[in-house]
Every structure is written in structure tokens, then in C-alpha cells.
Chain A
Amino acid sequence: MDGRDSPLARAAAEPLAAPEGAAAPAPATGGLLRFLTCGSVDDGKSTLIGRLLHDCRALLEDQLAALAADSRRHGTQGDDLDFALLVDGLAAEREQGITIDVAYRYFATPRRKFIVADTPGHEQYTRNMATGASTADLAILLVDARKGVVTQTRRHATIAHLLGIRHLVLAVNKMDLVGFGEPVFAAIVAEFRAFADRLGIGEVVAIPLSALAGDNVTAPSARMPWHAGPTLLAHLETVEVDWDRARARPFRMPVQWVNRPDQTFRGFAGLVASGVIRPGDEVRVLPSGRTTRVARIVTMEGDLAEAAAGQSVTLTLADEVEAGRGSVIAAASAPPQVADQFEATIVWMDDAPLHVGRGYWLKLATQTVTATVAHPKHVLNVNTLEHLAAKTLEMNAIGVAEVRTDRPIVFEPYADSRTLGGFILIDRLTNRTVGAGMLHFALRRSQNVHWQALEISREARAALKNQKPAVLWFTGLSGSGKSTIANLVEKRLHRMNRHTFLLDGDNVRHGLCRDLGFTEADRIENIRRVGEVARLMADAGLIVITAFISPFRAEREMVRRMLPEGEFLEIFVDTPLEVAEARDVKGLYAKARRGELRNFTGIDSPYEPPEAPELRIDTTRTSPEEAARLVVARLLGED
């Protein structure tokens, strides 16, 4: 075998690094193109990637031998090579003949380097398609020539477009099965073009292919002389991608980590999201809003005169300003916005649907906050692009909704910045990534970055009362003793001249939360409202006592996060179910057991005990009086 022909040889023919100080001529081609294959199940995505790798001679001898052996064992092509097996690397994928998760492959031609993500077509694995699409510059959308444009074709086109992929190739595959006829191709292209127009997709390059036979993949097909356009590879090699878009925008660097090896050095480490920075440049640190100058750009090789989008660097600043993980260092003259209410498009990715009102972790760049999502304004019918009304977001739904964060975050519209506009939502109980979102705009901009300081602060109000505000949050099963102990606690505090207020579950349900039932969603909303009221009362300087079953950890955490550190005391009234049920003061357990009461905690609705409560009271050993004494002692720091 001729060594000069090997894939490694051809990739290596490119210069390893530009010479120091060279100007930056942006070649039309060259560079690294990231693309993905997508489209409906069995349309030939994996086969196409395998074919591309094969025809670009990116496969080594032992890999080809393994493919031949694999093809005989698992293949769908008799004795011929089944190229899909090159990328379908999981045992389950080979057995089922489908792609389940995204595979990343790497190859190069003399003109360009490529990273390709082969994504699954099956609707169940849409989230894996989105994973592959989120980092791609270009999408190849496959269509089976026999089947034409189907729902998954439209869904994937929509997701690729939403994620901001600017280059789309419509690959009409399996042309061998329709006699390589132009009319079939033309009809599919016309149908897709109409859909793309409504979606707002600009250019679409359509190519008729046979991934299996290789027609129009790397070499023009003699069987489709009517196709005047480029082969797939020729297009991939020459499509002009504007990689410098981020560089041309104002400077932003989300701080990942503060580097403090000793007293003399304090550096802010991060990946430059956009723009260019030089020592001496004026920057604004958000969300605090303080301005300063960049002192140095520190790297192991030495200080840099300049750093630009795409570089991981460490900056030092001229002044001591408050900054840490989650801060964004930005061009002082053109800082990004700071806000806590947004409109966003969300792609839901979890089997469990969105819980409107529940707190999720929202991670955007290096900021992690608690966020709630309101009822969707609409969800998208991916076939008709109609806006449909919806109460929630189910798995694979694409919807537009309001998102509120528990504190202001630094952001930019996704259209301007993937880094500062793209976010994921994480379930706080399962820790799964349940959604991905793209921010459009702020609904209520936080004025001027700085908060409008109220003349009388919460501290001042509390000081007048000679106390520290707090929320004593009792949680536990129905009949565990929450209300009894809470009452005793309030009496004790009252005797001590403390200003208190007791919010009791049953009482609140007669007014504030009269409109709510006992479904999971309603219980979440119930706790959210009580949490907000408790917070207002704490702001007013009161010691707030609440007695709610509050069965879900996520909601208790949500309330904890509404309050300043240390002001939320979670008190777990720990009574075993048998004991509470045996007491059954209100006769509710009996009713629930008879099936007359649904969603009853402990019976047919779960109770999630606190993992690290400030105080746990075992009511099988502690009397209510003793429990109240313990709570007060804990509150006043006397134990």
C-alpha cells in the first residue's frame, strides 16, 4: 500500500500550526467542519457516514477487516459491507439494526478536517439528535426517496434550525430504489422547500444519493447525470462557514474558576465566548456591574498580548472586584443584559413531563440557578408548524414558555450567542438533564444591573423588632404532629416577645390556595405560594412558622433558596407512617385507605424525607413540649 495515500498522510499534509505572528488569512475552505446526519429512522444516516469514511479512505486495514467480519455477523447486506456497523458501535444497536446514541467520527481530506456526529432517527432518542446538533455547523438531513418527507424529517429540520445550524443539506437517499429518477427527487425537494420556507430556513442544498452504492457521495453518479450540483463531499469541503462570527462580537468571558495559588495572584479562568481582549481594556464584571481593566492575560507559555473567542485563558484584573464562578467579564462599553424573566424555546427531553412551577436547576454558561417554567405559551406541531395550546411539555415537545430564575443571570439572546443564550434544565431530584432551551429576550430587564435599594432594608425592619428573621419550616406526614409542635413553638416565642406568624396548611387552603387541589402540580404551586408569602414575611422581619406536609424535596429546596443563607430551618417531624396512621386524628388515613381520598401522602403519593434537615424530631421519643423547646433553642442558637 502506498503510504502517501493513507488518511493520516493526507491529514498531516496540512501545516500543524500557523507560524508565529502570521496574519490571519481566512481561507474559504480549510478549517474544521463539524456536521451531523439526521432524519427519520432507517433513512440511511449511519450507512452514509460509513460510506463517507470508507470512500475518504479514513478506515485502516484492521478496521476494514473488523467491518467485514461484523457485516457477516450482524449486517443487513448479505455478504456486502454494511457500512452502518462502522458507526453503530453499541451491542444493542447492532442487534436491533438502529442507532440509539450519537457517534462521533473524525476524518480529513486534503481540504478540510471533519468531525461528524451520526445521530439516531428514532423519535425516542430525539435528545441524542439534539446533543449531536448542538455543536454542529452543518446538518445533513436524510430522506428515504421511497418515503419522502416524514414527521421525523420535519422534527429534525426544526431542531437543527432552532439550534442555529446555518447550513442544511437535504440528502435524498436510496435513489437506487427509485430507479435514480429525477421526478422523485424534484418532488421531495419541492415539498421540503415549502416546509423550510415556513420555518425560515434559508439556503438548502439538495443532493440525490445512494449511500449504499456510493452515488454522489464522493464521486459524481453516472446514473444520475441530471444532477448538476456538487457531490456531498465536494459540498462539505467547500461550504463557506463563518467561524469568526463570535470573534467579531463584543468581548464576553464567563468565569469558570478563580485561580488563587497565593495572596499575590488572583486570576479568572474561562473560555472566551466572543470578542477580543487585550491588557488595558476596560471591562465590566457582571452581575455586580463593577468596571475595571484587564491587567494581564496569563498562560503557561507567558502573557498574551491578546486573546480571542475560542481561547481558554486566565485574566487578572487591575482592581479587586467581586467575581467568581458564574460572573461574566465583558466589554465595558457593550455589556450583556442581566435579567430574571425570559421567553425561551424549550426542547423537553425527559420521560417525565415538565412540572410547571417546580424549581429546576438551570445551567447557562457557568451560572447555575433555580428556575421555574410557566405554562407554555404554545407547543409546536412539527408537521404543520402550528402553535398548539398545551398545559405542559411532554417528552420531545418543542415549546415556547416563560422562564423565571431565582436570581438575575447574565445572558444574551441565543441568536447572538450560543454560550450566553443556550441553557439546560436539570431535575433536582433525579439530576437528569430534562430540557434544553434557547433564550429569546428578557421579559423584565433588571434595571441598570444594580438593584434599586429600598430605603428601609429587611435588616432594619428586623432590628426594630430586636430579632433575626427566619422561616421555621415543619415538614412531615399528615398527622405527624407538625401543627401541634408549631403552635407550641409560636407560643414560646410569643412569650419571649418575638414577632411571629404561623402559616398552617389547612388554613391557607381556605384562602390563598383555595383554587388548588392535591395533584402533584397543585401541591408544587401550593408550596411555591406559601414560600413566597413566608419570604415576604421574613423580609418584614418576622419569624415565620409553617406547617405543611410539603412532601417533595425539590419544593422545600426551592423555598430554601428564596431566603438568605441560614434563615431557612427545615424541621423534619419524623413520625413513621404506621404511627401517624394509627393516630389518624382527622380520620383521613382511613378515608384514603378506603380509596375515598386520592393523592394522599404516604398512601398513594410519595413523601420524600429531608436529607439534611436543620432539625429532626422523632415524635415516638420526644414529647411535643420537648420538641418545641428544641426548635426554639435551635433558632436562638442556644444548643
Chain B
Amino acid sequence: MTASAAHLSQTRLPPRPLDHLDRLEAESIHILREVVAECERPVMLYSVGKDSAVMLHLARKAFFPAPPPFPLLHIASGWDFADVLAHRDRMAAAAGMELIVHHNAAAAAAGVNPFDTPTPVYTRLMLTEALVAALDAHGFDAAFGGARRDEEKARAKERIFSFRSASHAWDPKAQRPELWNLYNARKNPGESIRVFPLSNWTELDIWAYIAREGVPLVPLYFAAERPTVRRGNLLLVVDDDRFRFLPGETVEPRWVRFRTLGCYPLTGAVESRAATLAEVMAEMQAVRVSERAGRAVDHDEAASMERKKQEGYF
């Protein structure tokens, strides 16, 4: 990193008026820096999705020319898309950041998997509990997450600095007032903070920013012919040979892409020919369902998100 500090470009970029993406960017960078200044051991939860991609990009900007002064944490369920893992390693290396990968090996060894285990139990064990265990094991006192308030009704209620008890529970009725851009980062013993720098971004802002900044994305966000299986109202992609078929299911090649990424046997793709960013954005303009519609995880019940958050889900 020492080299880059000395070799900064000295040509000066001319001023341009600030648009709303500039304001969102400035707000997020401010949040990232507040945490680094006030917390002892922050970490960035890196899911490798588009929101994580933007969050990582913002972190690199916030601390440039230094690398972001915290590690990346990936909770690997063991059922991640292969592309996701490759992209993850590439991006961590490019950012010059330590990458911590945590996996609930005990649960996996006990046979927990996305096919046999009921989805809520699977997510709790492989994602929620794995995350909580990783945060505890490393003693992180603040964790950045890429959640946005426009995603979901319970998220829309959450503060940017969101406190968790020693058991990682969220108490939505006792949130601290959060005025202006003044964040109270003081924790009681055992408490930790989830910090959401992208709180005020919308899905469209994320895409527009990715386009403007050239943020690298996992190829799965772009349409390609992939081996797919239709299951209920989800279109699943068979990412490796561990996929388990139900009677009567067949693999069909289809042109698909993803709006959101999770465990591959649980994440629905959308049929699409949009293979470039411009095409994806053009398609987004016609969209009439929210991105969460593609996640098996969130369908369980209306208040599922709030409940999961109370358990420690990000």
C-alpha cells in the first residue's frame, strides 16, 4: 500500500454538480469512517452480492489511499455459487483486505442442507447462527451490512447504527434516537453494532451507481444460458452436481440472470436476455415485482424478517 500513497495522480478532476448518487456516496463514506473512528474492531460482512459490491467499493473510496482498515467476513453456507466464491477471493485481494470465511461445519456434518432441512431452520443454522458465531469468535464489536431500507418493511424501521444485545438480538422498540448524521456508537458490555451504510439507497440507486463507477459484479447478475430447473414458482440454477432433483424435474437450458444472490438451491433466477449492464438496467425499468420475491428464504411469513433479525440475522 505504501507505493500507492506516493504515486497518486496529481492531475485534478474538474468540479461537477453533485447529484443524488454523490450525496448517497458521501453519506455512506461518512458512516464507514465514523465506525472506524469510534469502534475497536469493525468487520465488513461481505456476501459478494451487488449491495456488498457497492459497499466494498465505498469502503475503498472512504479510506483511500489506505486499504479499508478492517477485514471482510463471508459466511459460506457451503451451497454458494462457484462464481460467487471466485469473485469473492478476487475482490478481497484487489482491495488488499483480509478475508475471513466462516462456515458452520458442525451443522453441515450433522446433515443440514438446503434440500432436506426446512428452509427456516437451514437459514438459521447456516447463515444466522454461523454469523453470530463468527462475530463472537473474532470479538468484532461492529459489523457493516449491505442492507437497504427499501428492501423490506422491518428494514425500513431500522437505524443506521443498530444495536444488538450480547445474544445478538435486535429490540425494535428500544432503538436509540438517531439525529442528523450524529451516531452514538457507545456500547454497553456485550453489545455489538450492525451498521448499514447503504440504508438510504434503493435498488435502482445501486444499479445506477454500479454503472457509473464500473463496480465489478459476479457474472450471475448477467443473463447467460444456464442449466435450470423449475420448482414451484422459483427457477433454480443447477450450479454443481450436488443438486437434488424432485421426481419429474428435468434440467433445461434457459437464459437467466439473478436479481439477488443466496444459496444456489434456494435462490430464484429470472428469465432474461440482458447480458450487459445497460440491458439489465433497461429490463429493470419494466419490473413489477420486488427483488425479494426471488428468495425462498423470505417467503415463510409476513413478519419473518423482524423475527429473524431478533435472532441475530443481519
Contact residue among B5, B33, B202, B302 (Cβ-Cβ distance under 8 Å from A269)? B33
Closest CB-CB distance, B142 to chain A, in whole Å? 14
Q: Is the CB of B290 within 8 A of A312?
A: no
> B137 at the A/B interface (Cβ < 8 Å)?
no
Q: Is the CB of B289 within 8 A of A60?
A: yes
Q: Is the CB of A61 within 8 A of B179?
A: no
Note all chain B residues with C-beta closer than 8 A to A15.
Answer: 19
Note all chain B residues with C-beta closer than 8 A to A62.
Answer: 289-290, 292-293
> A259 at the A/B interface (Cβ < 8 Å)?
yes
Q: Is the CB of A92 within 8 A of B156?
A: no
Q: In the bound complex, how far is the Cα of B215 from the Cα of A568, in angstroms? A: 52
Q: Is the CB of A91 within 8 A of B186?
A: no
Note all chain B residues with C-beta closer than 8 A to A87.
Answer: 153, 156
Q: Is the CB of A90 within 8 A of B172?
A: yes
Q: Is the CB of B23 within 8 A of A264?
A: no
List A351-382 residues whose CB lies under 8 Å from chain B: 361, 363-366
Label chain A's interface by main secondary structure.
Answer: mixed
> A194 at the A/B interface (Cβ < 8 Å)?
no
Contact residue among B21, B180, B286 (Cβ-Cβ distance under 8 Å from A17)? B21
List A95-140 residues whose CB lies under 8 Å from chain B: 100-106, 113, 115, 127-128, 130-131, 134-135
Place the interface of chain B in its size category. Answer: 35 or more
Contact residue among B14, B180, B284, B302 (Cβ-Cβ distance under 8 Å from A305)? B14
> A3 at the A/B interface (Cβ < 8 Å)?
yes
Note all chain B residues with C-beta closer than 8 A to A12.
Answer: 204, 208, 281, 284-285
Once A16-B211, A433-B177 are accepted as A-B contacts, the answer to whether A310 and B18 lie under 8 Å apart by CB is yes
Q: In the bound complex, how far is the Cα of B12 from the Cα of A271, in angstroms? A: 19
> A334 at the A/B interface (Cβ < 8 Å)?
no
List A1-55 residues whose CB lies under 8 Å from chain B: 1, 3-4, 6, 8-9, 11-12, 15-24, 31-32
In the complex, identify which listed stretch (A296-304, A461-469, A546-554, A621-629) lies at the interface while the others stay far away.
Answer: A296-304
Q: Is the CB of A17 within 8 A of B212?
A: yes
Task: Kindly supply a per-residue 1/0 record for chain B positions 58-83, scoring 1 wherever the CB is within 8 Å of any chain A CB and 0 otherwise.
Answer: 00111111110000000000000000
Closest CB-CB distance, B203 to chain A, in whole Å? 8
Q: In the bound complex, how far is the Cα of B187 from the Cα of A361, in angstroms? A: 13
Q: Is the CB of A256 within 8 A of B30?
A: yes
> B6 at the A/B interface (Cβ < 8 Å)?
yes
Residue of chain A at shortest CB distance from B23 = A310
Residue of chain A at shortest CB distance from B34 = A256
Contact residue among B37, B175, B211, B303 (Cβ-Cβ distance under 8 Å from A325)? B37
Q: Is the CB of B179 within 8 A of A91?
A: no
Residue of chain B at shortest CB distance from A128 = B177
Closest CB-CB distance, B32 to chain A, in whole Å? 9
Note all chain B residues with C-beta closer than 8 A to A102.
Answer: 157
Residue of chain B at shortest CB distance from A301 = B13
Q: Is the CB of A312 within 8 A of B65?
A: no
Once A17-B19, A62-B293, A256-B33 are accepted as A-B contacts, the answer to whether A105 and B302 lie under 8 Å apart by CB is no
Closest CB-CB distance, B289 to chain A, in whole Å? 5
> B199 at the A/B interface (Cβ < 8 Å)?
yes
Contact residue among A18, A113, A131, A256 (Cβ-Cβ distance under 8 Å from B16)? A18
Task: Kindly supply a per-residue 1/0 record for chain B positions 268-283, scoring 1 wherever the CB is within 8 Å of any chain A CB and 0 otherwise.
Answer: 0000000000000100
Closest CB-CB distance, A388 to chain B, in whole Å? 24
Q: Is the CB of B157 within 8 A of A422?
A: no
Note all chain B residues with C-beta closer than 8 A to A265.
Answer: 5-6, 65
Note all chain A residues with C-beta closer than 8 A to B61.
Answer: 299-300
Q: How many residues of A contact B (CB 8 A)?
A: 98
Q: In the bound complex, how far is the Cα of B61 from the Cα of A131, in angstroms? A: 28
List B285-313 residues whose CB lies under 8 Å from chain A: 285-290, 292-293, 302-303, 306-307
Q: Is the CB of A314 within 8 A of B156?
A: no
Note all chain B residues with C-beta closer than 8 A to A3.
Answer: 285-287
Q: Is the CB of A22 within 8 A of B16?
A: yes
Q: Is the CB of B177 within 8 A of A130?
A: yes
Closest CB-CB distance, A132 to chain B, in whole Å? 10
Residue of chain B at shortest CB distance from A12 = B285
Closest CB-CB distance, A506 to chain B, in whole Å? 34
> A384 at the A/B interface (Cβ < 8 Å)?
no
Q: Is the CB of B156 within 8 A of A105?
A: yes
Q: Is the CB of B172 within 8 A of A92?
A: yes
Q: In the bound complex, how far is the Cα of B12 from the Cα of A20, in angstroms? A: 13
Q: Is the CB of B306 within 8 A of A89?
A: yes
Residue of chain A at shortest CB distance from B15 = A306
Q: Is the CB of A131 within 8 A of B179?
A: yes
Q: Is the CB of A18 within 8 A of B36?
A: no
Q: Is the CB of B13 within 8 A of A18?
A: no
Note all chain A residues with C-beta closer than 8 A to B293.
Answer: 62
> A70 at the A/B interface (Cβ < 8 Å)?
yes
> A349 at the A/B interface (Cβ < 8 Å)?
yes
Note all chain B residues with C-beta closer than 8 A to A264.
Answer: 2, 5-6
Residue of chain B at shortest CB distance from A426 = B184
Residue of chain B at shortest CB distance from A361 = B186
Residue of chain B at shortest CB distance from A63 = B290
Contact residue among A6, A88, A301, A363 (Cβ-Cβ distance under 8 Å from B285)? A6
Note all chain B residues with C-beta closer than 8 A to A128.
Answer: 175, 177
Note all chain B residues with C-beta closer than 8 A to A24.
Answer: 16-17
Which among A92, A298, A431 has the greatest number of chain B C-beta atoms within 10 A? A431
Note all chain B residues with C-beta closer than 8 A to A269.
Answer: 33, 62-63
List B201-234 residues whose CB lies under 8 Å from chain A: 202-204, 208, 211-212
Q: In the bound complex, how far is the Cα of B181 from the Cα of A269, in angstroms? A: 16
| Beyond A88-B153, A314-B64, 12 additional pairs, beta carbon < 8 A | A12-B208, A31-B20, A60-B289, A61-B288, A90-B157, A103-B153, A298-B64, A302-B8, A303-B9, A304-B13, A305-B12, A306-B14
Q: Can you list 18 pairs linking A and B with CB atoms under 8 Å apart?
A: A6-B286, A8-B204, A12-B281, A60-B288, A70-B302, A90-B306, A91-B306, A103-B156, A104-B200, A105-B150, A128-B175, A134-B180, A261-B4, A303-B11, A312-B26, A419-B180, A423-B182, A433-B178
Top 10 nearest A-B pairs (CB, nearest first) are A3-B286, A89-B153, A9-B285, A24-B17, A312-B29, A261-B66, A265-B5, A305-B12, A134-B179, A431-B186
Residues of B within 8 A of A (CB): 1-2, 4-6, 8-23, 25-27, 29-30, 33-34, 36-37, 60-67, 149-150, 152-157, 172-173, 175-182, 184, 186-188, 199-200, 202-204, 208, 211-212, 281, 284-290, 292-293, 302-303, 306-307
